[in-house]
Amino acid sequence: MGKQLIIVESPAKVKTIKKFLGPSYMVQASVGHVRDLPAKALGVNEEDNFAPQYEIIDNKKNVVSELRAAAAKADTVYLAPDPDREGEAIAWHVAELIRDKAKDIKRIQFNEITAKAVKEALAHPRDLNEDLFDAQQARRILDRLVGYKISPLLWKTIKRGISAGRVQSVALRLIAEREEEREVFKPEEYWLFKALLSGETPPPFKADLAKINGKKAVIANAEEAQALEDALRGQPFVVESVEQKERERAPQPPFITSTLQQAANQRLSYSAKRTMNIAQRLYEGVELGDRGLTALITYMRTDSTRIADEARDAAKDFIGKHFGKDYLPKRARVYKTKGSAQDAHEAVRPVDVTITPDEVKQHLPPDQYNLYRLIWSRFVASQMAGARFHDTTVTIACAHSQWRAKGERMLFPGFLAALPRAGEDADAELPPLEAGQTLKLDKLDKEQKFTQPPPRYSEASLVRELEERGIGRPSTYAAIISTLQDREYVSLVDRHFVPTDLGRVVCSQLTEHFGRLMDVGFTAQMEEGLDKVAEGKAHWVELLRAFSDDFNPTLAAAAKNMQSVKGGIPADLPCPECGKPLMIKFGKAGAFLACSGYPGCNYTSNFSRNEEGRVEAVAAEKPQYEKVGQCPQCGRDLVIKKSRTGSSFIACTGYPECKHAAPLSTGVPCPRCQKGQLVEKSTKRGKIFYSCDQYPQCDFALWDRPVPGPCPRCNSPYLVEKKGRAGAKIMCPVKGCGYVKEDGDEQN
């Protein structure tokens, strides 16, 4: 048998797969995508059936060279990126780049990285799926058309450097409209009554007021509350009826991407992005002592609740052994998957159910352990018998009112035994009661309440809303949320999303001029169209043409009619210095208030919004500066300050008496002259860059923030921090090296 080459996405997978394949297999990584549309051009020929103009990504040229060289040595190349559209696209692009070197190219996929799954995939390779690739390609081109064409309009009318996204903008609209609902909401007063009652035997129990004169109890004000209290005084509370029944509560299905993100946010306070990053590590493999590098969970980007028969059988054996046969359901649990799901995938589950959270705890950092425990417990619970309860509902009469008390007693824990930290309430038991029995009133409580506005979206509820409305897909939820935050269109307040003023004005402009694009229903239709392309039921070019025929006239109209707000948005406040209207403006540091009388009046202020959304000026706090030493001229403290154009520098706190100042060093020696240090600077327009402090003798400069090295792969003396939609990454600046350091882990 000759050499075989397996190409996966990440180096972590390389290490895991190499562990259980023999020396006849070479395993290499593409390190994600290797080709994409150009960074500084549209890259789509709309006149030629939307033909994309792909380019090899700059820092992947060396990776591509290595893959081509390896392909030339192999009898067969197996493309094994992730089992979804994005993975199919990576496989397709790699195939295009190695086709002239490879003798034979096949596609394999697996939902878990185990010896059995990988060998099974190698035994059943397939051809590349053009439909899946076309669906990913269509999504990429759609997003490029929207972002590349609309963003310049936003630069022209709002501020430079902001952008629009096809799906993210609709998510922004959901958040902004929820905030508007909250601002116009008028709270209404109501009152609640509770009675603490006792029967002939303990315990005492609470009953809630349910009806007055046979109708649902609605008490609107203090006068009505007092009148009811007066009417009840001295009246007997008599049991009208006692209803008892048994109830079974079924477990929830195993996790899919969206429910995993929701549960991790609610129970662990993890963001969607953090959840997916941790899950990626658990999927690709982690070190487990004597077990070595071990993949713990199945593929985490899925909308299917399907479970392989083998995994279900393993769960059955585990439950029977560790919990007992009574904890097994009468029939194996099979969960219904929604129609749009890719059912070839499985749910997110542990690869090996016998590897318990307790067993791996000593080997995993807390965040990985917590997420694995969440996934493991949910999967085991999903295959267990239901929990059984005995429910009691008591109806009680007093004068013209009716009260209700409910009790619950667990008869059998069932699946709850696998969820010890699920936050289940203790049993709320009632004493023995019977119809006609008179009860003693121990205490009558009344409480004034007010109706609440609709809640802001948390990460969990936003993901749920996106899924229910058909916006995005499992692989995109985390990116949608991260992008909105990175663009500073939304902020998190008490773990709930609030649109920033920049987000509000972007949403307003887009909704006014691109109503169809911002329509939730239309976005869901586009997702359905992409699903049809993936299923081979629609052609990607026709989908793009239909979109473009509608989008281009709208774009032309917006270019003509979109009004600039660079002069500011009325804040409905007078200037405290001259009385002229204040305006909301957008600067490098965010939104602020400025007088419309500028330059005659220079008044500016920070501001906040109250619960009704009205703008309120906020006095600027005295800035707190970081101390970095003592001034060499006067001995006072040196601190880090910001220049007018946004760059950081070191200055003396004795200013203006002492004018000592110096650039802020990054701690990276200049790689060119070896004499100077790289320091932070900024252009007149406020763009940050880094240059040698020996300028003009040395003119070395770069845009990305330098980070002390060296590169562990090519020994470059420094690394750089690159910021993108997915956040910041530390990587090597040397073209072709490809080293990327993310969250402390090498991603080479």
Task: Tell me the catalytic residues.
Answer: 299
Q: How far apart are CA 199 and CA 177, in angstroms?
A: 50
CB-based contact 4:75 (threshold 8 Å): yes
- For residue 674, CA distances in Å to 179, 576, 693, 694, 697 come to 54, 54, 11, 10, 12
Q: Which residues contact 114 (CB under 8 A, 6 or more apart)?
A: 20, 295, 351, 352
**Nearest in space to 555 (alpha carbons), one of 80, 17, 156:** 156
Query: What residue spans of 20-167 are helical by DSSP H?
Result: 61-73, 85-98, 115-123, 130-157
Question: From CA 471, how far away is CA 520, in angstroms rounded?
Answer: 7
Dig out the tokens for 77 from the structure: 């190349």
Q: Tell me how far apart the alpha carbons of residues 382 and 334 are, in angstroms, rounded to a whole number.
A: 9
Alpha carbon of residue 120 to chain centroid? 33
546 contacts 532 by C-beta, under 8 angstroms: no
Residue pair 264/275 in contact (Cβ under 8 Å)? The answer is yes
Strand partners for 191: 448
Q: Exposure pattern of 209-241 as b/e (b: 16+ CB <10 Å)?
A: beebeeeebebeeeeebeebeeebeeeebebee
> How far, in Å, CA of 86 to CA of 81, rounded?
8
Q: What would the DSSP string read from start to end of 56-88?
A: E-GGGHHHHHHHHHHHHH-SEEEE---SSHHHH
Q: How far separated are the first and last CA of the chain, in Å rounded? A: 29
Give the chain's length: 748
- List all residues 6 or more positions away from 201 whose beta carbon is below 8 Å from its beta carbon: 431, 432
Structure tokens at 472: 């995005």
Distance of alpha carbon 294 from alpha carbon 309, whole angstroms: 22
Give the phi and the psi of residue 79 in degrees, each rounded to 5.
Answer: -90, 120
Name the one residue in this structure whose structure tokens are 């009898």: 75
List all residues 6 or more positions away from 639 whose beta carbon is below 8 Å from its beta carbon: 625, 626, 627, 628, 650, 651, 653
Hey, what long-range contacts does 291-296 have (CB within 8 A, 24 or more apart)?
A: 292/19, 293/15, 293/16, 293/19, 294/16, 294/355, 295/16, 295/112, 295/113, 295/114, 295/351, 296/350, 296/351, 296/352, 296/355, 296/360, 296/372
